[in-house]
Chains A and B, each alone.
Chain A
Amino acid sequence: MNPYNYLYLAALLFTIGAVGVVVRRNAIVVFMCIELMLNAANLTLVTFSRINGTLDGQVVAFFTMVVAACEVVVGLAIIVTIYRSRRSASVDDASLLKR
Chain B
Amino acid sequence: MLEIQTPEAVMFWVLAPLSVIAALGMLLVKKAVHSALLLAWVMVTLAIFYIAQDALFLGIVQIVVYTGAVMMLFLFILMLVGVDASDSLTETIAGLRPIAITAAVGFGGLFVALISRATLGREAVGLQAANADGNVQGLAQKLFSTYVWPFEVVSALLITAALGAMVLAHHQRSVARPTQRQQSIARFRSGSLAGAAGLPSPGVFARHNAVDVPALLPDGSAAPTSISATLKARGDMLESRSFELGEVDNTVTEEK
A interface with B by C-beta (< 8 Å): 1-9, 11-20, 22-29, 31-33, 35-36, 39, 42-43, 46-47, 49-56, 58-59, 61-63, 65-74, 76-81, 83-84, 87-93
Closest approach, in angstroms, between the C-beta of A62 and any C-beta of chain B?
6
Q: Does B9 contact A (CB under 8 A)?
A: yes
Q: Does B217 contact A (CB under 8 A)?
A: no
Contacts A/B (CB < 8 Å), 28 sampled: A5-B16, A6-B12, A12-B23, A15-B107, A19-B101, A25-B86, A25-B92, A28-B36, A31-B74, A36-B26, A43-B50, A49-B53, A49-B55, A50-B54, A50-B125, A50-B127, A52-B124, A54-B130, A58-B55, A59-B142, A63-B154, A65-B65, A65-B66, A69-B65, A74-B161, A74-B168, A78-B168, A92-B86
Q: Is the interface of A mostly helix, strand, loop or mixed?
A: helix
**Which residues of chain B from 121 to 153 have any CB-CB distance to chain A below 8 Å in the complex?**
124-127, 129-131, 135, 138-139, 141-143, 146-147, 150-151
Inside 8 A of A49's CB, which chain B residues have their CB? 53, 55, 127
Report the interface size class on chain B: 35 or more
Contact A51 B120 (CB under 8 A): yes
The number of A-B residue pairs with CB atoms under 8 Å apart is 243
